[in-house]
Amino acid sequence: MTTLTRAVPVTERAPRVRKPRKRRTIGDWLLLVGAILVALLIAFPFLLILINSFKSPEDYSTGGPLALPTALYFDGIAAFWERVNFPEKLWNSVWTSGVVAVLAVLISVLNAFAIGIGRIKGRTWIIVLFLLANLLPQEALLYPLYYMFREIGLYNNPWAIILIFTVIQSAFGTYLLSSVYGTFPKEVLEAAALDGASRWTILWRVIVPISRPTLSVLLIFFFIWTWNEFLIPLTFLVSNANQTVPVAISVLQGDRLMDVTTTSASALLGVIPTLIFFLIFQRTLTRGITAGAVK
Amino acid sequence: MASAVPFVRAPKRPRAADEGMIPQRGSGSSAAYWLYLVPGLALLTFIVLIPLVWNIYLSFTEWRGIRPPEFIGLENWQQLFADDAFWASFRNSIFMIVAMVIIPTLLGLVLAAVLFDLIGKKFGGRVASFLRATYYLPQILPVAIAGIVIGWILRPQNGALNTILEGIGLGGLAHNWLGSPDTALASIMVVLVWVQLGYPVVIFMAALQRVDPELYEAAELDGAGWFQRFSAITVSIIRPEIFVVTLTCTIAALKVFGPIYVLTRGGPGDSTLVPSYYAYTEFFQSQQVGYGATIATALTVLIAIVSIVFIRAQAAAERKEREGL
């Protein structure tokens, strides 16, 4: 559940407007101004990074960080883009996060089918076990995993990351989906069984299609959470060609060749992909973040 | 007073029977459901359970990663309790909790109430939604990238903050924010507050939709001011969400790694050292695997204790509420 702290927002329907009483007092306006100031303060670092990524270092030193660029300057971004081979890093991140999301949803569905629908004995303990996997600090697994994957030759291989995060994400998925399936309409299942469908058929033809909205929220969350992971990719993906976006950007910080606006450009390139997810998925994810908060 | 009833269990809800929801016909016993768990449990065993137990074992050994680990009993643990750097890292964890739990939760409560109660109702839901999305923006970033964004602003030479300070004639305040022991920890805390604030706002605003407006109107008629209504009605109704937010954020605060790695590497000195970064350096820089495993195990135990205490406290609070009603 901790992972929810990294979740993507979910713009729910705007709070319902009940009887709009339009008596706005001075106090109301002051609070509005206060809330807007907080929003500006939060958005300010993004704006700074944005305007300074398109400046030349000279432009930066004469105009300071607050001025708009005098001329659009793409060399900083281009230099960093080529330096880290950004398309390669993007692809690494998309590939690992995508495979993890699909596999983790699949495993979650199988687990939750046994626990939520099958109601196997000892299910409470099994759920606790999965929850444990999700709460653990990754440091407690780090060295043994590092050693194991070295021994079997998967160190510095994207599949190591895929395997590890499939387990960690599906642990959360199992926890959430088990409680969703626990309340699955029994009549539907009985009707399907009466028609002679086997469990396997019922799972794929009835349960999965009906729970598709929940599954797609899980899929998107798993993708973004895996994208944002840092410690384990940093440890396991040592060679340049395998690194993910956050790792590749982080390891170059403080590098001698990074001038002030190139560094800003590097931060911008780290921000942009997640910003795009935010814009694409905002609607799809309706209700998602709160779903896990209080089940 | 949770301690008064620590071992009393919450009244049990009638439990669902141990039988599947799909009616059984001759074929396939309920044991067949276990087959569906095989891949999940097998993966869990290899990726989580075995490494976890192994790591605990390693905390009783001396190992530099090459020759086989050598069993040394409790030596690592004795060393740990006498290790100033370890205690410094936990002291810093408390500051991480302030930055990721206490400040965002308190501020988040106020902001959520203002957005929902006042701005949403008097200035329109769109304004409220837009502000909420803005507050949430830093949450979507990989936390290492969030660190880099703020770190860029705090750069010592020609950093944005120092340049702005000089520009408005406060050049005397310019500072090596991340590089001096007196401000490094505070700078990290700023990053974390910035990242974390949107999370409680979103959760609390969703929770506030559960509050029955009539309760408010009744309280208003009884002459309760806004703050009284807020503390007596709002906070008690959204208490489950407050619990969840404080629990998940406390655990996240104990695990902080990314911003420390990209911004300060635990320094200067050990002024921003945190347990997870300490364990990482013991594993991969000092090659003291046994000692790193000891730090990681201690962190795991702490997180387990925090989770249990929180869940118990929540159960106790719920019970008290039910009895009160």
Buried b (16+ CB within 10 A) or exposed e, A47-79: ebbebbbbbbeebbeebebeeebeeebeebbeb
pLDDT bracket for residue B2 (50, 70, 90): very low
Using an 8 Å CB-CB cutoff, list chain A residues near B128: 14-15
pLDDT over 70 percentage in chain B: 92
Q: Please tell me the distance from the alpha carbon of residue B86 to that of residue B275, in angstroms, as a whole number.
A: 7
The pLDDT of residue A294 is: 45
CB B171 within 8 A of CB B82: no
Q: How far apart are CA A260 and CA A267, in angstroms?
A: 11
Q: How confident is the model at residue A145 (pLDDT cuts 50, 70, 90)?
A: very high
Query: What residues of B are in contact with residue A145 (Cβ under 8 Å)?
Result: 47, 51
Using DSSP bridges, classify how beta strands B70-71 and B61-62 pair: parallel, antiparallel or unpaired: antiparallel
In this prediction, residue B17 has a pLDDT band, given cuts at 50, 70 and 90, of low
Quick check: is B131 in a domain? yes
Pair A141, B299: CB distance under 8 Å? no
pLDDT at B16: 56
Kindly tell me if the per-residue pLDDT of B10 is higher than 60.
no
Query: Is B201 within the bounds of a domain?
Result: yes
Return the pLDDT at A7.
42
CB contact under 8 A, B261 and A36: no
Cβ–Cβ under 8 Å, residues B282 and B289: yes
Most confident of A100-109, A203-212, B20-29, B111-120: A100-109
CATH code of the domain in which B170 resides: 1.10.3720.10
Inter-chain residue contact B34 with A249, CB threshold 8 Å: no
CA A213 to chain centre: 17
**Chain B contact set for A115 (CB, 8 A):** 37
Please tell me which residue of chain B has the smallest CA distance to A145.
B51
Give pLDDT tens digits for B42-77: 999 999 999 999 999 999 998 887 788 888 888 889
User: For residue A208, how far is the Cα from the chain centroid?
Assistant: 23
3-state class percentages of chain A: helix first, strand second, coil last, to nearest 5: 70, 0, 30
What is the span of the domain harbouring residue B268? 83-287
* Residue-range domain boundaries for chain A: 19-78, 85-251
Most confident of A94-108, A196-210, B201-215: A94-108
Shortest CA gap A276–chain B (Å):
10
Domain A85-251 CATH assignment equals 1.10.3720.10: yes
Quick: pLDDT tens for A58-110.
Answer: 888 777 787 788 878 888 888 888 888 889 999 999 999 999 999 999 999 99
- pLDDT number for residue A9: 44
DSSP reduced 3-state for B61: strand
Choice between A191 and B174, residue whose per-residue pLDDT is larger: A191
**Position of tokens 């659009």?**
A72
Mean pLDDT of chain B: 84
Tell me how far apart the alpha carbons of residues A232 and A234 are, in angstroms, rounded to a whole number: 5
Q: Does residue A289 sit at the B interface (CB-CB below 8 Å)?
A: yes
Lowest mean pLDDT among A115-124, B22-31, B194-203: B22-31
| pLDDT at residue B120 in the model | 81
Q: DSSP letters of B235-304?
A: HHHTHHHHHHHHHHHHHHHHT--HHHHHHTTT-STTTT--HHHHHHHHHHTS--HHHHHHHHHHHHHHHH
- Residue B18 pLDDT grade (very low, low, confident, very high; cuts 50, 70, 90): low
Q: How confident is the model at residue A39 (pLDDT cuts 50, 70, 90)?
A: very high
pLDDT mean over B12-36: 68
**Distance of residue B167 Cα from the nearest chain A Cα, in angstroms:** 8
**pLDDT of res. A5:** 40
Q: Is the pLDDT of residue B136 over 50?
A: yes
pLDDT of A92: 92
Q: For chain A, give the mean pLDDT.
A: 83
A49 to each of A22, A87, B103, B132, B195, how far by Cα in Å?
39, 21, 25, 21, 16
* Chain centre to alpha carbon of residue B235: 20
List the single range of A34-38, A131-135, B317-321 with lowest mean pLDDT.
B317-321
pLDDT grade for B277, boundaries at 50, 70 and 90: very high
Q: B25 pLDDT band (50/70/90 cuts)?
A: low
Q: What is the pLDDT of residue A289?
A: 57
Cis amide linkage into residue B14, ω under 30° from 0: no
Q: Which tens digits make up the pLDDT trace of A229-245?
A: 999 999 998 888 889 98
Q: What is the pLDDT of residue B325?
A: 59
Rounded Cα distance between A284 and B5, Å, is 44
Query: CA A193, CA A32: separation in Å to the nearest integer?
Result: 57
Q: Which two tokens stand for residue B55?
A: 């790591």
**In total, how many domains does chain B have?**
1
Q: pLDDT digits over A240-274, tens only?
A: 888 998 998 888 877 766 778 888 888 888 889 98
Residue B250 lies inside a defined structural domain of this protein: yes
B148 and A133 within 8 Å at the Cβ level: the answer is no
Whether the CB-CB separation of A39 and B131 falls below 8 Å is answered with yes
pLDDT category of residue A285 using cuts at 50, 70 and 90: low
Q: How far is B128 from chain A (nearest CA, A)?
A: 7
Contact yes or no for B48 and A141 at CB 8 A: yes
Residues 6+ apart with CB under 8 A from A42: B134, B135, B137, B138, B194, B197, B198
Is there a domain that residue B108 lies in?
Answer: yes
Residue B300 lies inside a defined structural domain of this protein: no
Asked whether the predicted pLDDT for residue B140 surpasses 90, the reply is no
How near does any CA of chain B get to the CA of A201, in Å?
12
- Count interface pairs A-B at CB distance under 8 A: 351
Nearest to B39 among A110, A189, A199 (CB): A110
**B160/A110 Cβ within 8 A:** no
**Cβ count near A26 (within 10 Å):** 7
- pLDDT value at B224 more than 90: no
Q: State ipTM.
A: 0.82
Mean pLDDT for the stretch of residues A18-25? 63
Search chain A and give the residue with CA nearest B54: A144
Chain A positions touching B254 (Cβ under 8 A) are 137
A171 CB neighbours in chain B (<8 A) are 44, 48
